[in-house]
Structure 1
Amino acid sequence: MPLVRVALRRGKSADYKRAIGEGVYKAMRESFGVPEGDRFVVVSQHDESEFQFSRTYLDIPRTDDLVIIQITANNTRTVEQKKALFARIAELLAAEPGLRKEDVFINLVEVAKENWSFGNGIAQYA
């Protein structure tokens, strides 16, 4: 059910981008109970002029390796689960592909279950 959008600066390898998708998916399975096979990840790369961010907001030093991850998911998780997800994503992406935790920006967008169609024009969760 989650839809993951990953935005980063242009120039990273296919393996680097794949590792980000795999890390986020693993963290969602562990922290959110996402079922196996429920993997929908879109990665977009941007030139410098298309990828604008604060290098110091909230006293967090960010580099050009910043990755912005937006996850759209059902509004069924607790605050504790969300905190666990954020921490686990940062931990996994630090391990592979080697991102600094400061360069992992995550935004969770919560929606009602009936707001999904996985194909065939059917609202599978409604």
Structure 2
Amino acid sequence: MPMTRITVQEGRSAAELHQVQDILHQTLVDEFDVPAADRFQIVDIKPTEQLHYDPHYMAGERSSRFTLFEITAGKPRRLEQKQALYRTLTQRLVDALGVRPDDVMIVIRFTATEDWCFGLGKGLTGDPQ
């Protein structure tokens, strides 16, 4: 049950952003044990002056195509699943869109089941919020 946010600098086409979303979702299904219908994504497009990142920190050189993926998930994943997600998502973006690996940053957060309400005023434990 991940909820994902993809943050990019303005200037990317709608088609490219849709492809990034599709690649992210397919990678979550393939590597992170996410059901195919479990797709909740936010694309956050920022003007240049609102997206600040170090062009070299722990990477070679980031460009204006820097893409930040924030994944909030309800159940913890094994280290091997996380590493497979990092590798596969980055490689798919490289192959499909020519994104440089230095331009891909991925952050994963885990929450407890009771931190989620998908509607009807009930958390996943069935208790009203």
TM-score higher than 0.5 here?
yes
Any gaps of 5 or more consecutive residues in structure 2?
none
Q: How does 1:75-90 map to 2 (within 5 A)?
A: 75-90=75-90
Match for 1:44: what amino acid?
D
Q: Which has the larger radius of gyration?
A: 2
Residue range with higher mean Cα deviation, 89-98 or 14-23: 89-98
Q: Deviations over 1:36-72 (max 9, x none)?
A: 1100111011111101000000242111110011000
Q: What value does the CA root-mean-square deviation take over the aligned residues?
A: 1.2
Counterpart for residue 32 of structure 2: 32
The answer to whether the Cα contact below 8 Å between 2:59 and 2:102 also exists between their aligned partners in 1 is: no
Question: Relative to structure 1, is the Cα distance of residues 125 and 97 closer, same or farther in structure 2, using a 3 angstrom cutoff?
Answer: farther
Question: Relative to structure 1, is the Cα distance of residues 68 and 59 closer, same or farther in structure 2, using a 3 angstrom cutoff?
Answer: closer
Q: Percent identity?
A: 29
Between the aligned partners of 1:21 and 1:11, the Cα distance in structure 2 is 16
Counterpart for residue 12 of structure 1: 12
**Alignment length (residue pairs):** 126
Any gaps of 5 or more consecutive residues in structure 1?
none
Between the aligned partners of 1:90 and 1:125, the Cα distance in structure 2 is 34
TM-superposed deviation, 1:75: 3.6
Match for 1:104: what amino acid?
V
Give the secondary-structure state (helix, strand or coil) at the position aligned to 1:90.
helix
